[in-house]
Amino acid sequence: MIDRILDLFFGPNPEFRQIVAVTLRMSLFSTLVSTLLGVPLGVLIGANEFRAKPLVSRLVDTLMGIPPVVGGLVVFLLLSRSGPLGSLKLLYTVTAMVIAQVLLITPIITGMASNIVSIRAPSIRETCHGLGIPPGRRLWYTILECRVPFISIVLAGFGRAIAEVGAVQMVGGNIQFKTRTMTTAIMMQSNMGYFDLAVALGFVLLIISFTINSLVHLIQDRERRD
């Protein structure tokens, strides 16, 4: 199996390398955008008390469990030729896949960040008040205080992004050398009965997932020791 994977990686056929590259590019960009949106939103929700907070929290929890095909359908309708953003011609591109991933991952990062901040917010608020730190700067200090668990959340979001198949299949179209990812290629190759490429891609996907989980556990173990 290792010989087969190495042959696919370094052999004359570039399809395997292209699939892995598209998957990593899509996952990295969607995780980055989701982090930039989700972490500040999670901090704002978790660190503040307001009348609509229970409703907002329930909404975020609901979006955390949205089926991927539903998220893909929403993006598909928005980007289709007859949709409101059809003029941008983004459907069946990596950009469309990133948008779908952001729609799915941002609520997950927001909800997890909000839960962490809600636990630590009282002590952070008390410390900031005692030091005379203005409310406008408390957001930044809250992010710094929770940076270690936030890293775990971001890695979990990346793991969620790289394993997605339903939404990216719908808005990306699984186009060869353009929008084909590891998960969509595995599904297609398995349905066609071509298992060599599917197994090789699955092996690479497992290696990436194992690496992500190892980093999460390493960060969590360091936090416990500290």
Total-model pTM: 0.87
Q: Percent of the chain, pLDDT > 70?
A: 96
For residue range 165-201, what is the model confidence (pLDDT) as tens digits? 889 999 999 998 899 999 999 999 888 887 878 888 8
| Higher pLDDT among residues 8 and 191, named by residue | 191
Q: Determine the pLDDT at residue 105.
A: 95
Among 13-17, 50-54, 183-187, the least confident range? 13-17
Give Cβ neighbours of residue 204 (< 8 Å, ≥ 6 apart).
5, 20, 182
Is the pLDDT at 224 greater than 80? The verdict is no
Task: Tell me, rounded to whole angstroms, the distance of Cα 107 from its chain centroid.
Answer: 10
Please report which confidence band the pLDDT of residue 77 belongs to, taking 50, 70 and 90 as the band edges.
very high
Mean pLDDT value across the chain: 87
DSSP letter for 26, please: H
Whole-number Å distance between alpha carbons of 62 and 50: 19
Please report which confidence band the pLDDT of residue 132 belongs to, taking 50, 70 and 90 as the band edges.
confident
CATH number of 22-179: 1.10.3720.10
Q: Where are the domains of the chain?
A: 22-179
With beta carbons less than 8 A apart as the criterion, state whether 218 and 172 touch: no
Q: Determine the pLDDT at residue 226.
A: 62
Is the pLDDT at 10 greater than 80? The verdict is no
